[in-house]
A and B are shown apart, each in its own frame.
Chain A
Amino acid sequence: MDIFLQQIVNGLTIGSLYALVALGYTMVYGVMKLINFAHGDLVALSAFAGLTIYTSIFADGGTSIVAVITVFMFTAAVIAVVGVLLERLAYRPLRTAPRLSAVVSALGAGLVIQNAIMLIWGPNMKIFPSHLFPSDIYHFGGIVITFTQLMILIFSSVLMIALYLFINKTKMGTAIRAVAIDQDAAKLMGINVNKIIMIIFIIGSGLGAVAGLFIGIYYRGITFDMGWMYGLNAFVAAIIGGIGNIPGAMFGGLILGLFNALISGYISSAWAETFTFMLLIVVLIFRPTGILGEKVAEKV
């Protein structure tokens, strides 16, 4: 039973990270109907950029709450700028082009980011310093939670609740939802669609950046090509939850994280992705638009 609960805790931790990345996918998909294949590589870029920012600002290796907050803010800002540039250069020129042309452009952008990371930071694994967060460990009954895990759970929940309120309670959020439903009608109502899309890329990339930093701090080892697998898992999570749907992405991320942890704990981690995609296929057979996705009638 303790092992089971421990896997639940681990699963929720990974699941929160998937959820943060999945939010970036689902927001872009909801508005542009585009799988942003470069998003996973942005997450990887964030881990590397964060590491460099940390070592260059705090060369003495000192750790404080100020240092950690600075690194997070700085990295999120850098990645948000990259995300906006990505949209400007690779996606905006293709907004009226056939759907698959934009997919190829996104795949190309992913390749560019991934190989830029390799050229800048080299092909070998980089290691995150272990003292960014205190190494405290908390015991609850038989289960163990590290300080990092606790921070991931708390911080990602806060971000997700904030995003949910932003989308549903503010004027800007209403504009985002309007653009997601019908771009042309939104434009006629005086909404600046380009600005909304820019905001979506800022938020999505910022959340991805936070996830990337947490991945670095939690797993410590980071490689230039790790973005692809995290991205794919997160995208699967977004589909399982119902793509285009923000609570769906959070829900899907947590479900997939739990599922992954239980499969790795009880069956084998070598087959993790196989089970992930089997889960995806089973979900799609019974719910073609994901668990929380609405059934949309096809317009002819």
Chain B
Amino acid sequence: MKDSLHFLREVEPNTYIETCGVDFEDFEVGQVFEHRPGHTFSEASCLNYARHSFDLSPGYSDQRYARRVYGDRVRVPETFVLSAMALTTRTFGKVVANLSMTDCKVKTVYAGDTLYLESEILGKRKSKSRPDQGLLHISSHALNQDGACVCSFERKLLVYRRNLGPYERAGY
């Protein structure tokens, strides 16, 4: 297993520091990462997320309306489904910034469902304008508890290159 695919680094005998994310150098095209744990969407978290979006349309704010239109189960807001991309941050923790996303498809997900993310590395290259960084092209899928794909997207993000990020200065 490559160095940055470990979660502890022994900094002196018997003393370990936790690592946060895989180094740019250790990603390879074709690798697939299964992110664990998953995320179970509760009714309360869905309604809370909808409320925090400032969205006052009745699908979430008015459950009498929502039940009549969408049925008895609370729907997970689409933006909350998409936010499952946060589950990939354990692997992509050395992110500099998220640049763009494409083909973000969302199906209906209900409270009580659990999503598991997996990500495939589609491409990687060193950044010309940012010599301490590299660009990753990633395809991610969110699978529910029955293995059905309910959300998918592609993403381009910058990650720091080995020993060139802010880690030593920040005590990481």
Q: Tell me if chain B binds chain A.
A: no
A interface, CB within 8 angstroms of B: none
